[in-house]
Amino acid sequence: MGFGEIVRGIRSLKIQGATNVAVWAVKAYLMKMTNSSYRKLISLRPTEPFLRNALKFVKKNPKKNPKIFFKKIKDDMDKIARFGANKIQNNSIVFTHCHASTVIDILKEAKRRKKHFIVHNTETRPSLQGRKTALELAKNNINVEYYIDSAGRVALKKADIFLFGADAITSDGRIVNKIGTEMFCELAKKRGIPVYCCTHSWKFDVETIRGFEEKIEQRNSKEVWDIKNNHIRVKNPSFEFIDPGLVTGIISELGVYNVDNFLQEVRKKYPELF
């Protein structure tokens, strides 16, 4: 794909997934390394810190072989999978909400290690990303119990661990993820179930709060209910901020840390990005 085609793919959501978006944005930037193309690529997803940080990394290290960036991302994702798989106990139940490539990779790695477990996941309405999760896991011979969202409490209370991804992590440690995540985190904490956010550290960005508070996404109400009634307003929020106090730890390529230590480690590892 050329620069323009990649731009259109990212803008139209044809190119999806934070890691995938970041990788394709870098590929586009390497085709056209100008300040205007840099700004254009960042503007495509103003609430995507992974994209911003990936472009920053490449822009600030222009003399490095681009292969170094792509190898780093692959190696980092492998590390996340290994660290996360360590948390999966044999004969356990893993609960997850929505779809996250990091969670999928962790579960695939646990399966590769011949661990026996089952996954409980939610449908995640209205876009049903939970189906994508279930199908990907089934393709890798991982057993799944798929629950309607309103039965999420039933699915979670039987679980031994809750894993979810992240769209972003703010400078005050709040995690941005699919709507419903904080509700499940609250239920998990009440039942003493460990909760881990599984993500690349480049999902952290000091600009995240401003970006998400300005653009916390209210998706088209017609996805939920196409009704015309002056007395009914359909709300369809896509993301929410998750209280870091509900999260046991963050699993990233840097290791497994509580939220405060994670923020310190990211700043220490990548000072040039912040």
- Please write the tens of the pLDDT for every residue from 76-105: 999 999 999 999 999 999 999 999 999 999
Residues carrying CATH 3.40.50.10470, the chain: 80-209+235-273
- Please write the tens of the pLDDT for every residue from 154-199: 999 999 999 999 999 988 899 999 999 999 999 999 999 999 999 9
The CATH code of the domain at 80-209+235-273 is: 3.40.50.10470
Q: What percent of the chain has pLDDT over 90?
A: 79
Residue-level pLDDT at 14: 86
User: Alpha helix locations (H) across the chain?
Assistant: 3-11, 18-31, 35-44, 49-60, 66-85, 101-112, 129-139, 152-157, 181-191, 208-215, 259-269
* Residue 13 pLDDT exceeds 80: no
Residue-level pLDDT at 126: 94
DSSP letters spanning 70-129: HHHHHHHHHHHHHHHHTTPPTTEEEEE-S--HHHHHHHHHHHHTT--EEEEEE--TTTTH
